[in-house]
Amino acid sequence: MTISSSESSRYQTSAAQANPEIGHRIDVGGVLTNLHDLGEGQPVLLIHGSGPGVSAWANWRLVIPQLALQRRVIAPDMLGFGFTQRPADNHYSVDRWVQHAVDLLDTLDIAQADLVGNSFGGALSLALAIRHPERVRRLVLMGSAGVPFTLTPGLDAVWGYQPSIARMKSLMDTFAFNRDLVTDELAQLRYQASIQPGFQESFAAMFPAPRQRWVDALASREEDVRALPHETLVIHGREDQVIPLQTSLTLSDWIPNAQLHVYGRCGHWTQIEHAGRFARLVSDFLTEAQ
């Protein structure tokens, strides 16, 4: 499919007005990629998690404006997620997702960026830092996969989601410690996001049962993690039912230059349940290196 620059501009303007999850669409290594690109200065790449109907905007909407006050914030929908193109073969892997992120940096002519990865996105950020250490300045891993752990019932439910409002509401309860955040309106919005054309089909192809194998596939080797040279901030919610707190304890133990911050009374939505604190913590950590 070929889109002229004028057609693309008109599409992006009208689409963004209708749906804030749609930012700019650019060709990244042959993949039409939806991303949000705000602010100026040292670039930071935000890699979202893997929930049903997820998008970069849904994951990061509360912290992007704060982080963009001091730096350039780039938040893409990763391959097969959100409003980014789905591969024709419907095949997904860590190799493919990491390559998509590297191709994005190349397309934007960014030699080195800070990485902030959420959950599944943390595993991808970790793998990218291991494979391309020169492309990463500092690393933030939030509720991150990327090390071995036993599949939790919460993660099994997330990856095994079948669309319904009731199931989406149940997942929202799993994600959040603060039940005040889990409104019927939010469940309806995220349900509608999950049933947009192509969304559930690609999501179901990513993590079919049995799902422990996908936890294992996202895990980097211990010796590679221990060899990471990057200053790393590891963040977790103490009451996380999706990714166990132990993963962040392991990461903070294995990564030589790591610091660990655990939020009490917080589930898997650290960047939403503690948005202000999260943005300040990450901003301060990234600013240390400037």
The catalytic residue among 50, 55, 119, 144 is 119
Tell me whether residue 119 is one of the annotated catalytic residues.
yes
- Please say if 55 is a catalytic residue: no
What are 20's two structure tokens? 């804030």
The single residue of 144, 240, 248, 274 carrying the catalytic annotation is 240
The set of catalytic residues is 119, 240, 268
